[in-house]
Chain A
Amino acid sequence: MRWLERLRMRIQMLFNRGDAAANLDDELRFHIEQQIAENIASGMGADEARHAALRSFGNPVLLREQARATWSWNWLELLLCDIGYGVRTLSRTPGFAAIAILVMALGIGANVALFTIVRSVLLKPLPFQDSNRLMRLYEQSPDDKFPYNDSAGGVFAEWKKQSRSFSDLAILSGFGGYNLSGSVEQLPEGVRAAMFSWNVLPTLGVQPALGRNFTANDDKPSANPTVLLSWGLWKRRFGGNPSIVNQTVLLDAKPYTVIGVMPAWFAYPNAAVQLWTPIYYQMPATEMNAIDSHDFVAIGRLKPGVTETQAVSELTLITRRLHDANLDNPFVSKGASIRPLLESLVGDIKTPLYVLLAATGCLLLIACLNVANLLVARAAARRKEQAVRTALGGSRLRLLRQHLMESLLLSACGGAAGVLLAIGVIQWVVHTRHDMVRMEAIHLDGVAVAFAAGLVVLCALFSGFISSFTAKGDNVLTALQESSRANSAGHGRTRLRAVLLSLEVGLTVVLLIGAGLLLKSYARLRSVDLGCMTRNVLKMDFALPEARYSKPAQRANFFDALLERVRNLPGVEAAGFVSPVVPGDGYGGDSGFSIPEHPAPPRGKLLYALHRWTDPGYFAGIGIPILRGHTFDGTQQPGHATEVIISDAFAREYFSGEDPIGKQLLSLGHHPFEIVGVVGDTRFTAGEAAQPSMYFALDATDDMNNATLVVRSGGDVTQLAMPIQRIVAQMDRDLPVSGILTMDQVVGRSTQDASFNATLLMVFAGLSLLLAAVGLFGVLSYIVAQRTSEIGIRIALGAQREQVLRLMLLDGLRPALVGLVLGLAASVGTARLIRSMLYGTQPLDPAVFTVVAAMLVLVAALACMVPAWRASRLDPMQALRME
């Protein structure tokens, strides 16, 4: 029954603590009364008896504490007491508390946000069944330059037929789009789409939320057209009505039966895709059987027990056999490779995200160092108080606990604010970077909050222990004596603070240099000449539905009529069409070619160049100079293209030393073309060098439904977007226009990653610089305050004010300079780590290093100037009288 008694006791001690305390006082008072009574009985006078009793009783406060220490829940009481005490001391210096909390909030917030992003994007498994067995299959590019090349339909078919390593293999294409036009009232709209083979969803282990998946019967050229809708599209456009299943919608003016709706979370291959169609129905059989046209994404599920290496060697064997059987075709790959599906999706953003995470880690460390620094200053200022408390019987452990409680309170408040900050940051990132892969997977969840709590404890211990580190060795007597004559106080603390500051400055330098390098890369990237005009040029994309524009002449008529009307719009200086993409908007695809007059290239060596289809006015429209020859002369008949225009890079590479004009080229399936012109180079993306390109006449091809209109204006070109859309609506009211962007925006998009990374890192580096400056300022102010009387004596003895100024400045700048040297040394190493993120900038760029060093010295000098100046202005009389 003892446990029952103890339980009763515990409950009583928890809820009747006040009574228990009163009882304890009464009990002790009774003891003293008894003692007095006994003393009187033994013959003492009343007063004497009382004094003797009290003397023999000892320190009543301590005794009460010791008795209370045996009570249960004492730890809780002490904890509450410490918290209360911490809150009171902190609220006595609200400025200090606010700064420390803000600093912690910035550090913790940035870390929680980046941690959440890294975890959601890079680490969290894909939301598919047993997703670590899911692989993406690649061909190695025929020239062996790139191991992760897309797969050709014919190669995939061989893999599927022969491979034994996978339980399922599926093929898809993520690039597609339809003009979705429905019932009468609804506006047409361009939607992004993906094409899936029927077994993509079973391979992933996903079921539609509504309706059914494609069957093998849907997935062949002769099938009835079917489509799966995304949850978002279904909700938005069809009001979430379940009866949509088995109804028809018009895609590119062709009726498709809706067979199902995907779950809301499903975002494969990316979140922009809004509907899925069967690939073998959609793509021509020739394309799906071609072994040299690398256009598709192949995925597979590894069988249990089969390793990646085994699968790769098997696929490579199959591919190699195919290659050897088609030696005359240089575009057939020789090998294959695979990597986990997750890796294939996020591989590109791994380095930047980890770099940013490391940067936030540095920021947090700097924040902790700063708070520790502030706490050290406080501890020094409260030395006397601590000594008095020790003298009154406060145990060291108890004092240390209170000290830690203060830093824990600061970190906890900072952590709470930081989580709020992180929520904001994450929302901002998801909003601004919805183009980034797996953005839809980012959520601040319990793990992130636990991570924040962990950071809080870590920061509290780190800053608390560093600052109480020196308090440990204090002797009560010296503390009390020293603070009465403070002319050389606290050398140990000053040194500690200088070390902390050097570390802080060093980390700041690392961040600044990283940010500087990225910023310079970004500037380089932005100033890259695409090879065409970008000011006041607008582009917009059209996709002519196959059903209504099946003949080349129909398309040519549409393009010509639209161009005619657009060119007549007031304000339009020039206009033209290009397909598939304008410069800076992506690779757009390439074609092989051969030059009949030249000796055949060695077997296996392939010649290929970017391909573009344009109307004759495109070059003038977007400002690509015609260097030799002329543009298409308008005699190109639909379906009978005979002319090609090449880029300068093409001419340099394949016609060095001869005039390419008039030469023959075999391309697009060994059709003969005559080179009629050479035009200036353009870049397909800002970060890549200009590639050899071929331009064919848009009107003369027989299967070109997508095209981009380019319009140049003398003034604000965006004003023209609406009038042009109105013209389009008049010509075909079901035709949507998409991708309306100025060329400046196109460039902005292709440099978005660089801009994003550079901006974020710049913000982190800026914050660190600010923190370091505040730290320097604080330390020097503290030193000046400590040495007031010493400086007073120096001045009184005749030291010049300039000397004092120099002395104090040097004192403050020394840790900054040490930190600078440390930081520069560390940056030499870290800059190499971000080499892959740099463009046109060396990791050891001397300009960046110089600017950072100069900026740091300047900021440090500014931060130290105020306290140093104040020291030099000291009135010696006043300084000495203050003692």
Chain B
Amino acid sequence: MGKPNDLVQGTLDMLILKTLLPEPMHGWAIGKRIQQLSGEVLQVQQGSLYPALHRLEQQGWIKAKWAESETGRQAKFYSLTAAGRKQLEAETANWSRLSAAIDLIVSEA
């Protein structure tokens, strides 16, 4: 059972926003997509995913809508807001800077 801080919190937020960039998605699909895109490396636990989704929604970066899923059942679909897009840009830039810096240090050795 994963603890909520398995992934660094800010990183998970960024991953969720990034995943939602092309189209609205429900929670299960977001988890799955992150897992797939990371080549099965990143496994998002429900204990982290749903609190993160609700937090992002409270912050106004994503918004939710109930709609029919592929199986025909009502599901909660999340989509990016304009503020969310801006936040994603900021976080991506920040991440690139940070990972490049860490990379420099790590590859030095």
Distance in angstroms from B100 CB to nearest chain A CB is 29
Q: A66-B47, A66-B51, A67-B50 are in contact. Are A1 and B1 (CB under 8 A)?
A: no
- For chain A, give the interface size range: 20 to 34
Within 8 Å by CB of B55, from A1, A27, A62, A70, lies A70
User: Which residues of chain A (1-54) have a CB below 8 Å from chain B?
Assistant: 1-3, 5-6, 9, 13, 23-24, 26-28, 30-31, 33-35, 37
Task: Check B54 against A71 for contact (C-beta < 8 Å).
Answer: yes
User: Which residues of chain B (3-47) have a CB below 8 Å from chain A?
Assistant: 4, 26-29, 45-47
CB nearest neighbor in B for A62: B47
Within 8 Å by CB of B60, from A5, A24, A62, A68, lies A5
Q: For residue B54, which residues in chain A have a CB less than 8 angstroms away from its CB?
A: 24, 67-68, 70-71
CA distance A34 to B71 in the complex (A): 9
Q: A58-B46, A63-B50, A69-B51 are in contact. Are A26 and B58 (CB under 8 A)?
A: no
Distance in angstroms from B53 CB to nearest chain A CB is 8
Contact with B along A58-85 (1 / 0, CB 8 A): 1100110011111110000000000000
Q: Indicate if B94 sits at the interface (CB-CB under 8 A).
A: no
Q: For residue A67, which residues in chain B have a CB less than 8 angstroms away from its CB?
A: 50-51, 53-54
User: Which residues of chain B (42-98) have a CB below 8 Å from chain A?
Assistant: 45-47, 50-55, 57-61, 63, 66, 69, 71, 73-76, 81-83
CB nearest neighbor in B for A74: B58
Q: Indicate if A128 sits at the interface (CB-CB under 8 A).
A: no
CA distance A34 to B25 in the complex (A): 13
CB nearest neighbor in A for B82: A1
Q: For residue B59, which residues in chain A have a CB less than 8 angstroms away from its CB?
A: 6
Q: For residue B74, which residues in chain A have a CB less than 8 angstroms away from its CB?
A: 26, 30
Distance in angstroms from B79 CB to nearest chain A CB is 13
Task: Check A30 against B26 for contact (C-beta < 8 Å).
Answer: yes
Q: How many B residues touch A, CB cutoff 8 Å?
A: 32
Task: Check A26 against B83 for contact (C-beta < 8 Å).
Answer: no
CB nearest neighbor in A for B1: A58
Q: For residue A27, which residues in chain B have a CB less than 8 angstroms away from its CB?
A: 26-27, 50, 75-76
Q: For residue B83, which residues in chain A have a CB less than 8 angstroms away from its CB?
A: 1-2, 5
CB nearest neighbor in B for A27: B76
CA distance A456 to B88 in the complex (A): 48
Q: For residue B53, which residues in chain A have a CB less than 8 angstroms away from its CB?
A: 67
Contact with B along A685-703 (1 / 0, CB 8 A): 0000000000000000000
Distance in angstroms from A388 CB to nearest chain B CB is 21
Q: For residue B63, which residues in chain A have a CB less than 8 angstroms away from its CB?
A: 5
CA distance A13 to B57 in the complex (A): 11
Task: Check A30 against B76 for contact (C-beta < 8 Å).
Answer: yes
A contact patch SS: helix
Task: Check B47 against A31 for contact (C-beta < 8 Å).
Answer: no
Task: Check A37 against B51 for contact (C-beta < 8 Å).
Answer: no
Q: Indicate if A654 sits at the interface (CB-CB under 8 A).
A: no
Q: Indicate if A57 sits at the interface (CB-CB under 8 A).
A: yes
Q: For residue B57, which residues in chain A have a CB less than 8 angstroms away from its CB?
A: 9
Task: Check B51 against A9 for contact (C-beta < 8 Å).
Answer: no
Task: Check A71 against B47 for contact (C-beta < 8 Å).
Answer: no
Between B1, B2, B63, the greatest number of chain A beta carbons within 10 A of the residue's beta carbon is seen for B1
CB nearest neighbor in A for B4: A66
Distance in angstroms from B60 CB to nearest chain A CB is 4
CA distance A223 to B107 in the complex (A): 109
Task: Check A30 against B55 for contact (C-beta < 8 Å).
Answer: no
Q: A5-B81, A70-B51 are in contact. Are A31 and B27 (CB under 8 A)?
A: yes
CA distance A23 to B76 in the complex (A): 8
Task: Check B58 against A9 for contact (C-beta < 8 Å).
Answer: yes
Q: For residue B1, which residues in chain A have a CB less than 8 angstroms away from its CB?
A: 58-59
CA distance A2 to B87 in the complex (A): 11
CB nearest neighbor in B for A20: B54
Q: For residue A3, which residues in chain B have a CB less than 8 angstroms away from its CB?
A: 60
Task: Check A58 against B45 for contact (C-beta < 8 Å).
Answer: yes
Q: For residue B66, which residues in chain A have a CB less than 8 angstroms away from its CB?
A: 23
CB nearest neighbor in A for B28: A34
Distance in angstroms from A391 CB to nearest chain B CB is 16
Q: For residue A69, which residues in chain B have a CB less than 8 angstroms away from its CB?
A: 51
CA distance A253 to B83 in the complex (A): 91
Q: For residue B45, which residues in chain A have a CB less than 8 angstroms away from its CB?
A: 58
CA distance A9 to B55 in the complex (A): 11
CA distance A68 to B76 in the complex (A): 16
CA distance A34 to B45 in the complex (A): 15
Task: Check B47 against A63 for contact (C-beta < 8 Å).
Answer: yes
Task: Check B26 against A63 for contact (C-beta < 8 Å).
Answer: no
CA distance A322 to B68 in the complex (A): 107
Q: For residue B4, which residues in chain A have a CB less than 8 angstroms away from its CB?
A: 66
Q: For residue A58, which residues in chain B have a CB less than 8 angstroms away from its CB?
A: 1-2, 45-47
CA distance A58 to B2 in the complex (A): 9
Q: For residue B47, which residues in chain A have a CB less than 8 angstroms away from its CB?
A: 58, 62-63, 66
CA distance A37 to B28 in the complex (A): 12
Q: For residue B60, which residues in chain A have a CB less than 8 angstroms away from its CB?
A: 2-3, 5-6, 9
Q: For residue B26, which residues in chain A have a CB less than 8 angstroms away from its CB?
A: 27, 30
Q: For residue B58, which residues in chain A have a CB less than 8 angstroms away from its CB?
A: 6, 9, 13, 70-72
Q: For residue B61, which residues in chain A have a CB less than 8 angstroms away from its CB?
A: 2
CB nearest neighbor in B for A60: B46
Q: For residue A33, which residues in chain B have a CB less than 8 angstroms away from its CB?
A: 71, 73
Distance in angstroms from B74 CB to nearest chain A CB is 7
Task: Check A26 against B46 for contact (C-beta < 8 Å).
Answer: no
CA distance A28 to B4 in the complex (A): 16
Between B4, B60, B71, the greatest number of chain A beta carbons within 10 A of the residue's beta carbon is seen for B60
Task: Check B50 against A66 for contact (C-beta < 8 Å).
Answer: yes
Q: For residue B2, which residues in chain A have a CB less than 8 angstroms away from its CB?
A: 58
CB nearest neighbor in A for B26: A30
CA distance A59 to B4 in the complex (A): 13
Q: For residue B75, which residues in chain A have a CB less than 8 angstroms away from its CB?
A: 27, 30
CA distance A97 to B70 in the complex (A): 57
Distance in angstroms from A504 CB to nearest chain B CB is 46
Distance in angstroms from B36 CB to nearest chain A CB is 12
Q: For residue A68, which residues in chain B have a CB less than 8 angstroms away from its CB?
A: 54
CA distance A247 to B81 in the complex (A): 84
CB nearest neighbor in A for B73: A30
CB nearest neighbor in A for B66: A23
Distance in angstroms from A725 CB to nearest chain B CB is 83
CA distance A212 to B76 in the complex (A): 81
Q: For residue B50, which residues in chain A have a CB less than 8 angstroms away from its CB?
A: 24, 27-28, 31, 63, 66-67
Q: For residue B52, which residues in chain A have a CB less than 8 angstroms away from its CB?
A: 70
Between B51, B57, B59, the greatest number of chain A beta carbons within 10 A of the residue's beta carbon is seen for B51
Q: For residue A2, which residues in chain B have a CB less than 8 angstroms away from its CB?
A: 60-61, 81, 83
Distance in angstroms from B45 CB to nearest chain A CB is 7
CA distance A24 to B64 in the complex (A): 12
CA distance A879 to B43 in the complex (A): 57
Distance in angstroms from B108 CB to nearest chain A CB is 39
Within 8 Å by CB of B46, from A1, A57, A71, lies A57
Q: For residue B29, which residues in chain A have a CB less than 8 angstroms away from its CB?
A: 34
Task: Check B81 against A63 for contact (C-beta < 8 Å).
Answer: no
CA distance A800 to B1 in the complex (A): 58
CB nearest neighbor in B for A34: B28
Q: For residue A62, which residues in chain B have a CB less than 8 angstroms away from its CB?
A: 47
Q: For residue A28, which residues in chain B have a CB less than 8 angstroms away from its CB?
A: 46, 50
CB nearest neighbor in B for A37: B71
CA distance A89 to B38 in the complex (A): 50
Distance in angstroms from A520 CB to nearest chain B CB is 69
CB nearest neighbor in A for B60: A5
CA distance A8 to B1 in the complex (A): 34
10 new A-B pairs (CB below 8 Å) besides A30-B26, A30-B27?
Answer: A5-B63, A5-B81, A13-B58, A27-B50, A30-B75, A31-B50, A34-B28, A66-B4, A66-B51, A70-B58
Interface residues of B (CB under 8 A from A): 1-2, 4, 26-29, 45-47, 50-55, 57-61, 63, 66, 69, 71, 73-76, 81-83
| Cβ contacts A to B, 17 pairs, < 8 Å | A3-B60, A5-B83, A6-B59, A23-B76, A28-B50, A30-B28, A34-B28, A34-B29, A37-B71, A58-B1, A63-B47, A66-B4, A66-B50, A67-B50, A67-B53, A68-B54, A70-B55
User: 3 nearest interchain CB pairs?
Assistant: A5-B60, A2-B83, A70-B55
